[in-house]
Amino acid sequence: MFGQTLTIARNTFVESVRQPIYFILIVICGILQVFNTWGTNFSMGYSSTAEVSSDNKLLLDIGLATVFVCGTLLAAFVATAVLSREIENKTVLTVVSKPVSRPVVVLGKYLGAAGAMLVATVTMLLFLQLAIRHGVMTTTADDLDVPVILFSLLAAGIAFAVATWCNFFYGWVFPQTASLLLLPLTAAAWVGVLLINKEWQVQDLHTDFKPQITLASLCVLMALLVLTAVATAASARLGQVMTIVVCAGVFVFGLLSNALLGRHAYQNDAVARIQSVTADPPDRPVFSEPGATARVTLELEPTSAIRPGMPFYYGPNPNGFPLSVASFPPFEGDLEDRMELLRPGTPPALVVTAASKKELTVRRAGGEGALVKQPPAAGDYVFTRSTRVNPVVLAIWGVIPNIQFFWLVDAVTQNQPIPLSHVGLVALYAAIQIGVFLSLAILLFQRREVG
């Protein structure tokens, strides 16, 4: 089974990179990156600490979006060429008629298409890295980054020249040869511009290396591998045009899923945001034990009135998920009665005991019990009720790939470090999504008539 899968994957990879559209989309992405350095000269603000600043913020945003769109189209074209077209031409019948199971065919087809997508996407992301190093041409008086231009032209020129030579004299397929040569040559050009600055002086590799942009690019690569799985599943039943429509629909809907579904999956309304928290007594963690009191200062006055006796919830997100406080029944007793507040039989709760504009006094009522998952911190949102969950919307939201998870450009442009743990979670999410859509592809292909 393993050998059969690798054989199908290898043949699929070769078929994919031989397609003219494969080479064309890579070249189009490279050309668009050149135009991006000319057409993104609209100042987006300055930052001396972020990896990109001023107009280069827009260059990164548009450049990475260019890679994303070209990759989405490429995923649809590659998937339909290796599965849907073979089903229509009945060439896949020669494979499934042998002792090769249909799940092996689907898995091999996906691995081959994913390999081709990996080569194309990394090449396009290297084009982006070269464009970021060059920077935006804000005015005609700006100096050109000659090493970037020279090394990029050499990489493209050598790839095209060798592919033309081998096609003419040896009959090699031009798109395949040019595409496969572009990856190592572009990588060599990128390393070259990391070693040589604009003044042709040798520098350390890390001087112009952008680790945060690299991590954001890696997440986009994961998203395109997920879309390749989507395209594989769609092409098991649909033709090329409809597969492209499905991929485009998943791409757009995935970008909008937070707005269309996410805000309805978890229903809660933040009334304020915490500016600071002071424990009373100050030598103990906030709300760590029954009777513990904290004085909470808000950034602004609450959007709705907070009165004594109301529940107090908080969490890091404005939609109320996840809350840092477990759900609890409202405290119905007398706030002035200390004995009632601390009675062992009383369920644990956080109760507002005093409220004045931006100042709140919150007390933990009830006996022992798990209540606070983590203490409140500056920047947390304040709520007066627990978060309600809509299971139907949550299920739909969970199935559709959430493209926003893979889009980390905002973190880079706003100088927010991307933790490696977050990239690991994104990779896990991508692996689960790929598994789901490959399972769907196997189910759709299992009963597909191919004879």
Nearest to 9 by CA among 219, 228, 161, 188: 228
Which pLDDT belongs to residue 80?
75
d(CA 37, CA 16): 30
Q: Within this chain, do residues 20 and 92 fall inside the same structural domain, yes or no?
A: yes
Q: What is the mean pLDDT of the chain?
A: 86
**Token output for 445:** 């292909």
Name 190's Cβ contacts closer than 8 Å, sequence gap at least 6. Answer: 126, 129, 130, 133
Taking the alpha carbons at both ends of the chain, their separation in whole angstroms is: 23
Give per-residue pLDDT as tens, 282-323: 777 788 777 788 999 999 889 988 998 899 999 998 888 889
The domain tally of the chain equals 2
Nearest to 407 by CA among 117, 130, 68, 74: 68
Q: Which of 359, 386, 413 is the last residue of a domain?
A: 386
Q: Within this chain, do residues 332 and 237 fall inside the same structural domain, yes or no?
A: no
CA angle, 23 as apex, 173 and 64 as ends, to 5°? Answer: 155
Instruction: Please write down the HEC assignment for all residues of 46-112.
Output: CCCCCCCCCHHHHHHHHHHHHHHHHHHHHHHHHHHHHHHHHHHHCCCHHHHCCCCCHHHHHHHHHHH
Q: Within this chain, do residues 152 and 248 fall inside the same structural domain, yes or no?
A: yes
Q: Within this chain, do residues 44 and 187 fall inside the same structural domain, yes or no?
A: yes
Residue 26 sits at φ, ψ, to 5 deg, of -65, -45
Q: Which of 339, 365, 386 is the last residue of a domain?
A: 386
d(CA 370, CA 310): 20
Token pair 């090699």: residue: 172
Domain that holds residue 363: 272-386
| 295 DSSP β-pair partners | 278, 361
Tell whether 451 is covered by a domain: no
Rg over CA atoms, the chain: 28
Q: Within this chain, do residues 167 and 19 fall inside the same structural domain, yes or no?
A: yes
Q: Within this chain, do residues 161 and 286 fall inside the same structural domain, yes or no?
A: no
Sign of CA dihedral 32, 37, 38, 42: positive
Q: Within this chain, do residues 223 and 318 fall inside the same structural domain, yes or no?
A: no
d(CA 86, CA 239): 11
Which pLDDT belongs to residue 168?
93
Tell whether 392 is covered by a domain: no
Residue 280 sits at φ, ψ, to 5 deg, of -135, 105
Q: Which of 340, 364, 386 is the last residue of a domain?
A: 386
Q: Within this chain, do residues 139 and 244 fall inside the same structural domain, yes or no?
A: yes
**Contact assessment for residue 83 and residue 232, using Cβ atoms and an 8 Å cutoff:** yes
Residue 444's alpha-carbon distances to 251, 307, 399, in angstroms, are 21, 57, 17
User: Where are any strands of DSSP class E within 299-380?
Assistant: 313-315, 349-356, 359-365
Q: Within this chain, do residues 281 and 403 fall inside the same structural domain, yes or no?
A: no
Q: Within this chain, do residues 40 and 90 fall inside the same structural domain, yes or no?
A: yes
d(CA 382, CA 353): 15
Tell whether 249 is covered by a domain: yes
Tell whether 393 is covered by a domain: no
Q: Within this chain, do residues 201 and 296 fall inside the same structural domain, yes or no?
A: no
Q: Collect the ranges in the chain with pLDDT lower than 70.
A: 1, 42-50, 87-98, 139-141, 340, 369, 448-451
Q: Within this chain, do residues 164 and 18 fall inside the same structural domain, yes or no?
A: yes
Name 166's Cβ contacts closer than 8 Å, sequence gap at least 6. Answer: 172, 177
